[in-house]
């Protein structure tokens, strides 16, 4: 019985050696190995094969990774020709009064021939430092025709409260936007949002990734070659552009966020040979060219309201920069499986040797045990 207990104890120890080794290696590879996470991030952004991935897919992947929740906007959103005022739809625009012909807006995708394609996303994220939610609308530009090498730096987005015509003193909608655009051309107004560059970096305790971007595989124009594919940029519809040089917004005490406005009218324009700041200082704002206008009716009150409507049909749940939520487990599974299998074999061999050594020692002790001598007869 004592020998049986001895064997059982060392058998359990041998099993623990195997189980502990396999679990330790697996957990470290999954949670603690930053290089594995960097490999996943590189794969997620198609660092090696981005040319084979559609721009729209790259945009949605990026939004899904970086947002707490997100939605591609199509309902309530409209675009129209700046000259004829005709609204775009799935049929290419064709009218002698149009500023641009061939434009379409279908399934949330705006196509402006000779300029760019565009998709709008609403997305939320939580600011830990500020302890508050951010709710932002972004207009992602792709299939861009780079008319100059710095073309993307000269695109701007501005918006005003309300839709339709209005009169003084209460200005809103297209009337106010007309005045704002004219004041920008007259160098009397500044501040609309330009483009920014979406990027992602993984930062760990042991290692960090290089900045990762999404690529505009359908881009054409200046500087675009097979070996030089531009990044995808986005227009940021953050908050109202208030100007110290204009009285158009004197009645607005504080710039309102895009999501705070129930209805908006907006314009996307190109500032000409200089970016807007330089155009104002160099007096070239008369080169400003409006490309498209639009309106939006916002159904969401704030970030919390938007997050509460996640149904994975219209509003989707994102990863909020959490690689585990973005598919890291599926990506790393087979690598961990192979590592665990190798660890199992090696630790299994060591555990068997450990067990056999202790069994041999026990047998030696048993064999060499002294015999009890019978007492001598007197």
Per-residue pLDDT of 185-233, as tens digits, reads 887 766 677 899 999 999 888 888 899 999 999 999 999 998 899 999 9
| Separation between Cα atoms, residue 317 and residue 359, nearest integer Å | 57
Kindly state the DSSP code that residue 140 receives in the 8-state scheme: E
| Separation between Cα atoms, residue 269 and residue 287, nearest integer Å | 10
Residues with Cβ within 8 Å of 192's Cβ and at least 6 positions away in sequence, in order, are: 156, 157, 158, 184, 241, 276
Question: Residue length, the chain?
Answer: 378
What confidence category does residue 66 fall into, taking pLDDT thresholds of 50, 70 and 90?
very high
Widest pairwise Cα distance in the chain = 138
| Separation between Cα atoms, residue 59 and residue 162, nearest integer Å | 29
Q: Per-residue pLDDT for 324 more than 50?
A: yes
Cis before 169? omega within 30: yes
Do residues 232 and 118 touch, judged by C-beta distance below 8 A? no
Q: Per-residue pLDDT for 4 more than 80?
A: no
Burial 203-215, CB ≥16 within 10 A → b, else e: eeeeeebeebbbb
Instruction: Give 256 or 319, the one with higher predicted confidence.
Output: 319
Query: CA 10: distance to chain centroid?
Result: 52
> Mean pLDDT for the chain?
85
């Amino acid at each position: 019985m004592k020998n049986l207990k001895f064997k059982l104890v060392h058998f359990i120890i041998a099993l623990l050696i195997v189980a502990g080794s396999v679990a330790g290696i697996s957990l470290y590879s999954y949670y603690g190995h930053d290089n594995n996470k960097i490999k996943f991030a590189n794969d997620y952004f198609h660092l090696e094969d981005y040319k084979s991935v559609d721009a729209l897919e790259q945009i949605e992947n990026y939004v899904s990774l970086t947002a707490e929740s997100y939605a591609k906007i199509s309902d309530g959103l409209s675009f129209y020709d700046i000259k004829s005022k005709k609204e775009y739809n799935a049929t290419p625009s064709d009218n002698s009064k149009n500023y641009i012909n061939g434009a379409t807006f279908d399934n949330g995708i705006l196509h402006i021939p000779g300029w760019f394609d565009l998709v709008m996303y609403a997305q939320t994220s939580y600011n830990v430092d500020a302890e508050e939610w951010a709710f932002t609308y972004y207009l992602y530009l792709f299939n861009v025709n780079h008319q100059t090498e710095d073309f993307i730096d000269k695109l701007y987005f501005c918006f005003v409260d309300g839709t339709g015509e209005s009169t003084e003193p209460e200005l809103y909608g297209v009337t106010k936007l007309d005045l704002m655009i004219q004041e920008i051309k007259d160098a009397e107004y500044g501040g609309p949002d330009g483009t920014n560059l979406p990027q992602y970096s993984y930062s760990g305790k042991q290692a960090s990734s290089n900045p990762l971007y999404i690529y505009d595989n359908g881009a054409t124009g200046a500087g675009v070659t097979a070996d030089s594919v531009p990044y995808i940029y986005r227009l940021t519809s953050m908050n109202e552009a208030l100007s110290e040089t204009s009285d158009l917004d004197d009645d607005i005490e504080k710039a309102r966020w895009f999501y705070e406005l129930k209805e908006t009218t907006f314009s996307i324009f190109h500032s000409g040979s200089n970016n807007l700041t330089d155009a104002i200082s160099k007096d070239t704002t008369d080169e400003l060219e409006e490309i498209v206008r639009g309106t939006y009716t916002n159904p969401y009150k704030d970030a919390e309201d938007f997050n509460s409507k996640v149904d994975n049909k219209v509003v989707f749940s994102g990863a909020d920069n959490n690689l585990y939520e973005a598919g890291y487990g599926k990506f790393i599974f087979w690598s961990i499986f192979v590592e665990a299998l190798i660890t199992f074999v090696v630790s299994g061999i060591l555990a068997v040797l450990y067990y056999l050594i202790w069994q041999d020692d026990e047998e030696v002790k048993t064999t060499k045990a002294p015999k009890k001598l019978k007492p001598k007869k007197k």
